[in-house]
Chain A
Amino acid sequence: MNAFSPQIKRDYSLDGPENRHAVEVGLASAEWYHSEVPRKVMKSLMRRSDEAADRDTVLWFLLLIFTGSATIALWGSWWVLPFLLGYGVLYGTACDSRWHECGHGTAFKTDWKNNAVYHIASFMVMRNPISWRWSHARHHTDTIIVGRDPEIVLMRPPEIAMAALKFIGVPDIFYELRTLARNAAGIITEAEKDYIPEAERPKAIYWARVHMAIYGAAVLLALVTWSILPLVLIGGPRIYGCWHMVMMGLLQHGGLAEDVLDHRLNSRTVLINPVSRFLYWNMNYHVEHHMFPMVPYHALPRLHALIKHDLPAPNPSIADAYGDLIYALVRQTREAGYTIRRALPPTAQPYCEEFHDTDGVPSRRAGK
């Protein structure tokens, strides 16, 4: 039995043997498969505009102000519930997609708008804006490469109860607050050093201190007013409003292959309703996003239409995707090497198979 046998839990840490293994076999910083799109078409898809993100951001802030104000006004009455739940999702879920798209710098044409929304959303989602920018860059370089990707959410064999707790922000908020507190104390771990360049580490410490100061002020306000309301409005939505973020986030790569160089094998596109698309900024087109991360969220439906002949059919609904995911997770509890493998249409190029570890045992080859 070797180190990567399906019976043994793999080491997902960034400073362990799987990291060295990934580098040795050519899985790190590798070239990935992508569908062919003519250059002129790709340029039109990549073209930046402020229009869509201005509209969506103004609407987002207006909805936050409306539901937040209604929550304050109706606090103590049962009538507060719909506004509280709405505020929670707008804060605790929509922040994730805004963090993501503005981190890529693709949402707005005007870069200060990307940076401003990125910092606000980073605070709301409880992520250090510096370290998570670098972590996400690594996620795109080495998507679901074990030992390299710091953003693998569902590790194998899966801990299904822990995955379910994520819908109420557990244990994520404890982990994120602990990380922010550690960074604020000036500590950057060895794993963080693996993807955050030295010159960026002081910035990570600075922004962690800013975030912790705001949370500290919210706690102080709650104590002074002897009311939980400040924490319900600041930080709290990461618990009671994150369910939609987690619901969509688990679908991005859950149950799919590890250690492959073809996003069609490790990412999932799901067709979803317009409200969820507004909250999620079209990240349901996840194969397309990973293949072409420079395409803004508002152009992803057009990109999907252009390359769907080369992709596995998308899941037609969130419920359908969860059917696949839950089956895969349950099976992985007793057969950790199992992954979902979707059929390609006859018009598609075949999968890049070299690293496809359907049996949980990545093939090995000499370094590239």
Chain B
Amino acid sequence: MSGWIDVCDAEDIDLEDVIRFDHGGRTFAVYRTLDGAVFATDGLCTHEKVHLADGLVMDDTIECPKHNGRFNYQTGAALRAPVCEALATYPARLRDGRIEIEVEQS
């Protein structure tokens, strides 16, 4: 069963930036674009399980801080070696100034 989970205030994430969000034993990366739209992906790089929230957001890509692999965080597509496997994405929305993501509840 999936449900919307409250993450944080929108202002807690800078424009064109990312934060780590842990919930239910899982870790996510939650992004805010330059124009304020929000997105969510798995929190760990598919290459070596490094937290993407320590990486760099550039336009619609997130760069892993360890090996500089890149993903499109809006689609999850792997863009640059050494990442080959796509990143799981999750619906995200703004509601009354708060960011929410939709994930499977255990």
Contacts and interface: CB of A to CB of B under 8 A. Distances in A.
B84 interface: yes
B85 to A, nearest CB: 9
Interface residues of A, number: 22
A22 B67 CA distance: 20
Contacts of B37: none
A104 B49 CA distance: 18
Interface in B1-33: 14, 17
Contact of B49 (A29, A137, A199): A29
B74 to A, nearest CB: 18
B80 interface: yes
Given A133-B82, A294-B56, A141 B67 contact: yes
A294 B84 contact: no
Given A104-B68, A292-B65, A294-B63, A43 B84 contact: no
Nearest to B80: A105
A293 B65 contact: yes
B58 interface: yes
A134 interface: yes
A294 B58 contact: no
A269 interface: no
Interface string A211-243: 000000000000000000000000000000000
Interface string A119-142: 000000000000001100100110
B34 interface: no
A121 B76 CA distance: 31
Contacts of A71: none
A48 B63 CA distance: 11
* Dominant secondary structure at the A interface: helix
Contacts of A43: 17, 56
Interface string A32-61: 000000001011001110000000000000
Contacts of A293: 65-68
Most chain A CB neighbours (cut-off 10 Å) among B14, B56, B67: B67
Nearest to A32: B66
Contacts of A137: 47-48, 67, 81-82
Interface size, B (range):
20 to 34
Contacts of A133: 81-82
A200 interface: yes
Nearest to B56: A46
A46 B70 CA distance: 14
A140 B67 contact: yes
A197 interface: yes
Nearest to B61: A111
Contacts of A48: 56, 58
B43 interface: no
B68 A294 contact: yes
A63 B77 CA distance: 40
A141 B68 contact: no
Contacts of B58: 48
A265 B48 CA distance: 22
Contacts of B84: 197, 199-200
B55 to A, nearest CB: 7
Contacts of B66: 140-141, 293
Interface string A2-45: 00000000000000000000000000010000000000101100
11 contacts: A46-B63, A47-B56, A48-B58, A104-B68, A105-B63, A105-B80, A141-B67, A293-B66, A293-B67, A294-B63, A294-B68
6 cross-chain pairs, A with B, having the tightest CB-CB distances, nearest first: A137-B82, A46-B56, A137-B67, A105-B68, A104-B68, A294-B65
Given A43-B56, A48-B58, 6 more contacts: A42-B54, A105-B63, A105-B68, A105-B70, A133-B81, A292-B65
